[in-house]
Structure 1
Amino acid sequence: MKFFMLLGMLVFCNASPQDLTGKMFTFPQQTNTARVKLRTTQNTFEAVTVCLRSFTDLTRNHGLFSMSIPSDANAFLIFKPEAARQIRLWRGSTSHVNFDGKEYNLNTWQDVCSTWDSKTGLGQLWLDGRPTSRKFLKSEMIKGTPMILIGQEQDSHGGGFDAAQSFVGMMTDVHMWNYVLSSCEIQRYMNDLNFSPGNVLNWRALDFETVGKVVLEDNQKGCA
């Protein structure tokens, strides 16, 4: 009886959110399996802001952040195409925009934030503190149980992975909000100042599961 009580406690502890301050996920090789599932109880989104920091030497297509719902594999997707100065934002499998003219530098930490609001349908990208033009995507709320992944891009709800679109590199400070962050708050995030952590996904209290070859290790962003 004591054994089963202890086992239950261990399972509960492992399932508890963790403070990943000073940590990063490393995806060391190209696969169609390695990924991190990011869990939330939220299942309706009138708006979205996602911020993360990534480090990679990839020049091919790769996903940075993938959220699907049962009815839409690309409910909210931040995607880096092969084109050197372009990042693509999907809000639904039939609605995407390209943000051009942005230097996505290799082998350096990049701060990426994307926003979208169902009231206007407008999406925007911020890269290293610099915003793009706002562009129309889709003015329809996201409704459904989300599957949120980093490391893989979903072509079906929780699946359909393609190794040739997998992320290889390091990622840290992943936050998600169910509203559009103000430009000042985005700047505070990018400058690593005191900002309001994500109310959907919070790196300081993250509920996650790693699958395949993913390493959680100390951050290498540099010394203060």
Structure 2
Amino acid sequence: MALLLLLVTLTTCAATPQNLESKMFTFPEATNTAHTKLLTTKQDLSAVTVCLRSFTDLRRGHPIFSLATSLASNDFLIFKLDESDLFDLWARDKNAKFALQDYKLNTWNAICSTWDATSGIIQLWVNGKPSSRKFVSFGSNITEPMSIVLGQEQDSYGGGFDINQSFIGMISDVHMWDYTMSSCEIQNYSDELSFSLGNVLNWNALDFQITGRVLIEDKQTC
């Protein structure tokens, strides 16, 4: 596997959006500093869909995707809890817990979540299998400038990292949309079939900033 880039204790920006197809971010150690910040110009979201692939052996709680604004540190958060099948999803600082049996350690998991500000409904998919639909928060959009982070959970806008909640493992194929995707499109994403690329974050044209020991590597596949 070719090692493309190693950044240690430095902050580095992608000069232009990069096509990371068949690549992955590797977070190799517990830390309260190393992370990848994903950049977007979008500032008004009435709905959200996030999909990504995650690979880890962590049994403790850790973030999958963290979006904070100055008004809410958990404006949109996907968090894996200690329990083997439990996730905690947040929107606008309100949360709901979900149990999905299909999540596995030491393999790639396709994780997607949707939230709609009009209905307040949030939902989780793991490897194409949907959760129950639950209410968290409605009536207000995500309107502030967003800080989107992989590898750490934000307890404040762009910071407040805790080494005991840091992510160790690999993340790939990150996409984000400003609408709730259909179950069929989420299934296509999970099965690595054709789907609409993200219009907020697009893994094939990603603008990002890396801080600390984070690697960009070829994705490990057979």
TM range (shorter): over 0.9
1:97 alignment counterpart = 96
CA contact (8 A) 2:14 2:208 kept: no
- Give, in whole Å, the separation in 2 of the partners of 1:160 and 1:45: 24
Q: CA deviation at 1:15?
A: 2.1
CA displacement 1:119-163 (0-9 Å, x = unmatched): 100000000010001000101211100000000000000000001
Structure 2 unaligned residues grouped into runs of 5+ = 1-12
Match for residue 114 of structure 1?
113
Query: How far, CA to CA, are the matches of 2:197 and 2:81 in structure 1?
Result: 28
Residues of 1 paired with 2:162 and 2:15: CA distance?
Answer: 28
In the TM superposition, residue 194 of structure 1 has moved relative to its aligned partner by 1.2
CA positional deviation for 1:104: 2.2
Q: Percent identity?
A: 55
Decide whether the 8 Å contact of 1:52 with 1:174 is kept in 2.
Answer: yes
Q: 3-state SS of the aligned residue for 2:201?
A: coil
Greater helix proportion: 1
Alignment of 1:84-163 (within 5 A): 84-93=84-93, 95-139=94-138, 140-163=140-163
Structure 1 unmatched ranges of 5 or more: 1-12
Aligned to 1:28: 28
- Structure 1: which amino acid aligns with 2:123? Q
Name the CA distance, whole Å, in 2 between partners of 1:102 and 1:69.
31
**Alpha-carbon separation, structure 2, partners of 1:73 and 1:15:** 28
Residue-by-residue CA offset, 1:185-207 (whole Å, 9 max, x unaligned): 10111111111000000000000
Aligned residues between the structures:
209
Q: Which TM-score applies when normalising by structure 2?
A: 0.92
**SS of equivalent residue, structure 1 residue 15:** coil
Instruction: Give the letter for the 1:71 counterpart.
Output: L
Which contiguous aligned blocks of 4+ residues in structure 1 show a shift greater than 6 angstroms? none
SS in 2 for 1:209: strand
Aligned to 1:180: 180
Partner SS for 1:145: coil
Cα distance in structure 1, aligned partners of 2:29 and 2:118: 40
In 2, Cα distance between the equivalents of 1:45 and 1:136? Answer: 17
How far 1:92 sits from its partner (Å)? 2.4
Aligned to 2:81: 81
- CA–CA distance in 1 between the matches of 2:88 and 2:14? 35
Is 2:39 the partner of 1:39?
yes
Show CA shifts across 1:26-81 (max 9, x none). 00000001100000000110000000000000000100000001111000000001
What TM-score results when the alignment is normalised by the length of structure 1?
0.91
In 2, the alpha carbon distance for the partners of 1:97 and 1:69 equals 19
Aligned equivalents of 2:172, 2:91: Cα separation in 1? 23
